[in-house]
Amino acid sequence: MSKSTVTEYSEICSFCGRQAEGEHHLIFGTAGRELSEKDGLKIPICNNCHNMGDKLNRVHDNPMAEKLSKMLGQAIWERDWILKDAVHDEDEEKEIQKLESRIARKEFRKRYGKSYL
Ligand SMILES: [Zn+2]
Ligand SMILES: [Zn+2]
């Protein structure tokens, strides 16, 4: 199983902060899920927020949430691609990516007063 490139907090549901019971692949559907798995485009999620809660409060079968999920997946993939292109040594690349993600997360939180991821 690949690691999420979206968040390090694999135990916490990205939507509600409760204990995560599974993973949501940001880009899903026939081919998307497998690529999403390979690329780490996934977030920890509780069953309620995933597909068991009522439709307004879960990601699946909620058309706007599904679209936003895919948009987020693409934005993160493109960010990862740019970072990956900048460095060629794989270990160094991973370190830089981790560091930059952490700093970026902190900077976002500073600017917007909260973090959505
Ligand atoms: Zn949740
Ligand atoms: Zn899902």
User: For 55-72, what is the HEC assignment?
Assistant: HHHCCCCCHHHHHHHHHH
**CA dihedral (90, 80, 33, 60) positive or negative:** positive
Average pLDDT over residues 51-80: 94
86 pLDDT above the threshold of 70? no
How distant, in Å, are the alpha carbons of 48, 71, 89, 109, 110 from that of 106? 28, 22, 26, 5, 6
Predicted confidence band of residue 112 (pLDDT cuts 50, 70, 90): confident
Distance of CA 107 from the midpoint of ligand 1 (Å): 25
User: Between 48 and 103, where is the model more confident?
Assistant: 48
Quick: pLDDT tens for 64-77.
Answer: 999 999 999 999 99
Which tens digits make up the pLDDT trace of 29-42? 888 889 999 999 99
- Averaged pLDDT, 87-103: 78
Around Cβ 91, how many Cβ atoms within 10 Å?
8
Ordered alpha helix ranges (H), 1-117: 32-39, 47, 63-86, 90-112
Q: Give the number of C-alpha atoms closer than 13 A to the C-alpha of residue 82, restricted to the C-beta side.
A: 7
Q: How far is the CA of 20 from the centre of ligand 2 (A)?
A: 12
pLDDT at residue 79 in the model: 86
Smallest-distance ligand from the CA of 42: 2
Which comes out higher in pLDDT, residue 104 or 63? Answer: 63
pTM: 0.81
Q: Which ligand has the shortest distance to the CA of 36?
A: 2
Chain-wide mean pLDDT for the chain? 89
